[in-house]
Amino acid sequence: MQLTGIVYWAIAILFVLNVSIVLLTVGVKAARTLRIGWYKRHLRRIEPAVENYIITGEDQPELEALRPWQKDVFVSRLMVERMALVRGSGQDHLKRLAEHLGLVDRYLKDLDSRRRWRRARAAETLGYFGGERSIRPLGKLLADPDETVRAVAARALARIGTEEAAEILAKTLNDPSELTRLRVAENLERIGPPSVGPLMGVLENARGAEEHRLLHGATQAAQVLGELRAQEARKALGRAALEGNSFDLRARATFALGKIGDPDDLDNLLAAAEDEEWPVRAQAASSLGMIGDVSTIPTLRKLTLDREWWVRMNASRALANMGPAGERALARLLESEDRFARDRAAATLEERGIIRRVVGDLTAPGERGESARAMIRAMVKAGAVQYLERLARTLPDEGARVALRQTMGEARES
């Protein structure tokens, strides 16, 4: 009997628990539905006034009568959504409205909050309509102990996008945190041309420096300047490519010169190709390929014999970028005594689609056909036949398949 009573009590407890869970679930869903409905009603009432202000710029009594928490919860959200959509006078009206309603002052105050989520939310909002007087307070958040807050502040400064904002961001490129430096560099790139001057300042400040933080900042600055194709930074980048106190800085500056793509920088790139550190030589090869001047083919051929794999690969790909002259240089490498150079040249010719195109020229008359046959014979003698054999089976053009098999047979017999 005692055991039966325990079972009954257990069943009763389980029943009560199940009913409680069901009621709690229904209650939570009902509360959520009511909250959403309440939120939407407020938005529908406030949204027309915000739209009218965007169009006319005239004061809206409905907005001024709102309580501070309503301005924060509803008006601020509507303004942020529209800032991403409107341009010109519409954005100016929204910024003026934020000042008029006291939202800018409210969020500037929240930047000092003890709660990180409040600091992050304030920084994000100020990025949309905080204007120039928010720049310095946002800049202070770049030293915030929380990584997320620093990232939000950097993005907010990028949205403001002035040269002053770029200058503050550029100074943070020397931050000890690599993640922070990467996020700051990304946002400097978003700002665009206004970032060029501050970035050049970071690059120049690192001249002769031994401190890791200055060199890290200069390295990121060189990368962003390359992404921005900043012609005015070529001189500073050239010095960094040749005189930088870290190989990483020299390598990034060298690659940035290639991104900019000015043939007047060839002398600096050719000098970088002689650097004692292989990452610099590898980036010099890539940059020479981006500029594409055929006068640099001898240097690239030399780099294809480099002891480091990355240098050989970049040099081979650079030759492939230089049209017929570069392709002929790669074909000659197939006859090199260096096995690694032969293999890399063959791989580049295959991956860039050059071999497939050349096979189509095997039946062409004159020099074009003879040049194609010479390249296929060199591939066979170099032992790079696997791709050729696959083409000989799968090419849709029967004439090209026959010509390829015939040329491969002749090469094996010679």
Give just the sign of the alpha carbon dihedral 407, 411, 413, 414.
Answer: positive
Which helix (H) or strand (E) is 225 found in, with range? helix 212-227
pTM: 0.83
Question: Rounded to an integer, what is the distance from CA 350 to the centroid of its chain?
Answer: 29
**CATH number of the domain within which 268 lies:** 1.25.10.10
Asked, for residue 248, whether it belongs to a domain, the answer is yes
The vertex-236 CA angle with 232 and 242, nearest 5°, equals 140
Asked, for residue 204, whether it belongs to a domain, the answer is yes
Q: Are 199 and 187 in contact (CB under 8 A)?
A: no
Range of the domain at 211: 192-291
Asked, for residue 206, whether it belongs to a domain, the answer is yes
Reduced to 3 states (helix: H, G, I; strand: E, B; else coil), residue 243 is helix
Asked, for residue 262, whether it belongs to a domain, the answer is yes
Residue 184's Cβ-count burial label (10 Å; 0-12, 13-18, 19+) is buried
Q: Are 129 and 103 in contact (CB under 8 A)?
A: yes
Give just the sign of the alpha carbon dihedral 293, 297, 303, 309.
Answer: positive
Asked, for residue 329, whether it belongs to a domain, the answer is no
Question: What does each of the 414 residues of the chain score in pLDDT, given as a tens digit?
Answer: 466 777 778 788 888 888 888 888 888 888 787 777 766 787 788 888 888 888 888 888 888 888 888 888 888 888 888 888 888 888 888 888 888 889 999 999 999 999 999 999 999 999 999 989 999 999 999 999 999 999 999 999 999 999 999 999 999 998 888 888 899 999 999 999 999 999 999 998 887 666 666 788 999 999 999 999 999 999 999 999 999 989 999 999 999 999 999 999 999 999 999 999 999 999 999 999 999 999 999 999 999 999 999 999 999 999 999 999 999 999 999 989 899 999 999 999 999 999 999 999 988 888 889 999 999 999 999 998 999 999 999 999 899 999 999 999 988 887
Number of structural domains the chain divides into = 1
Asked, for residue 106, whether it belongs to a domain, the answer is no
Say how far apart CA 215 and CA 174 lie, in whole Å. Answer: 8
Please report, for residues 226, 242, 264, 300, the alpha-carbon distance to residue 270 in angstroms, rounded to integers and kept in the order given.
18, 10, 11, 9
Asked, for residue 69, whether it belongs to a domain, the answer is no
Asked, for residue 239, whether it belongs to a domain, the answer is yes
Backbone angles phi, psi at 375, to 5 degrees: -70, -40
Reduced to 3 states (helix: H, G, I; strand: E, B; else coil), residue 346 is helix
